Amino acid sequence: MRRLTNMTTTSDLAAGSRRPLAAGDLAQLYAAHRLPLVRLAILLVDDRASAEDVVQDAFASLAGRLHKLRDPDAALGYLRTSVVNGSRSALRRRRTARAYVPPAEAEPPGPDDRAVLAEEHREVLAGLDRLAPRQREVLVLRYWSGLSEAEIAEACGISRGAVKSTASRALDALEQILKGEGR
C-alpha cells in the first residue's frame, strides 16, 4: 500500500521557517509527488492522459495560491483534494460527452493497459468501476494511498463519519459485485 501522505520530502520544504512557500518548493513538490498523484488519479479516472491532466491542473492551481501557504503538508493536502475533485470532474465530463455521441461510439474509454493485469486484479478493478464515485474515491484513498479517515475526509470534503460508513458500504457493495460474478 502506498502512503500518499506527508512524505519525507514535504517535511524538508520550508523546514521550520514558516515562510510562505515559493517556486522552489513547488518544484520540489512537483518532483516528489507528480508520479504518485498521477497514479492516484489513474485509479480514479482510468486513463493516463486524463490522470496527467488532472494532476497538472492541481499543480497549476497550487501555483496560483502558493504564497498563501506556509505548510508543505497543507500543500500536499490541497493537491490531493484537487486531484480527487479534478478526477470527479473528468469523469463527469466524460459521462456528459458520452451521452451525445452515437451509440456505436459510446463505448467507455478503454483502460488500455488493464489487459495485461492478472485476471484477479481485473475483476476487482471492474467491480470498483461499478461503485459510486464517492465510494471508489474512499476505497482508493484508503487502500492504495493509505490515508487516515481524517485525511480522506479532508480530501473528499466529507465528515469522518461519512468516510467510515462510505468505506463500509463500498466494501459490502464490492463484495456483492464480486460474488455476483461468481468469484
Partner 1 sequence: MNTLESRLSEALNARAEQVQPADLGPGHVPATVSPVRRRLQVGAAIAAVAAVAAVAAVAVSVLDDDGETGPSPAPQPTVSDTSNPTTDATTDPTADPEPAPTTNPPEGDLGYLLPFDTTQYVEPGTTVRFGDGETAAITGGELVVTGSGSVLRGPLEGIDPQDDVSITRVSLGQVGNGYLLAQTPGGDSQIQELYVAGDGGGLVLAQPPGDVPFGFGYAEGFPDGYLTWTAGDGSGLFTRVQLGDPAGNRWRVYRWEVTGPGEGGGPELLARDLVPTDLGVVCFGSGNPPRSVTPC
Q: Contact, 76 vs 147, CB < 8 A?
A: no
Shortest distance, position 5 Cβ to partner 1, whole Å: 14
Considering only residues 108 to 167 of the shown chain, the ones binding partner 1 according to CB under 8 A are 113-114, 116-118, 120-122, 124-125, 128, 132-135, 139-140, 143-144, 153-154, 157-162, 164-166
Cα–Cα distance, 33 to 79 (Å, whole number): 9
Shortest distance, position 104 Cβ to partner 1, whole Å: 19
> Does residue 3 belong to the site contacting partner 1 (CB under 8 A)?
no
Candidate list 72, 88, 147, 152; residue touching partner 1; CB under 8 A = 88
Considering only residues 40 to 79 of the shown chain, the ones binding partner 1 according to CB under 8 A are 40, 42-43, 48, 51-52, 54, 56-67, 74, 77-78
Q: What nine digits make up the cell of 183? A: 468469484
Buried b (16+ CB within 10 A) or exposed e, 49-70: ebbebbbebbbebbeeebeebe
Residues near 12 by Cβ (< 8 Å), separated by ≥ 6?
Answer: 28
> Does residue 83 belong to the site contacting partner 1 (CB under 8 A)?
yes
Candidate list 11, 23, 106, 109; residue touching partner 1; CB under 8 A = 23
Cα–Cα distance, 41 to 21 (Å, whole number): 24
> Does residue 7 belong to the site contacting partner 1 (CB under 8 A)?
no
> Does residue 171 belong to the site contacting partner 1 (CB under 8 A)?
yes
Cα–Cα distance, 175 to 170 (Å, whole number): 8
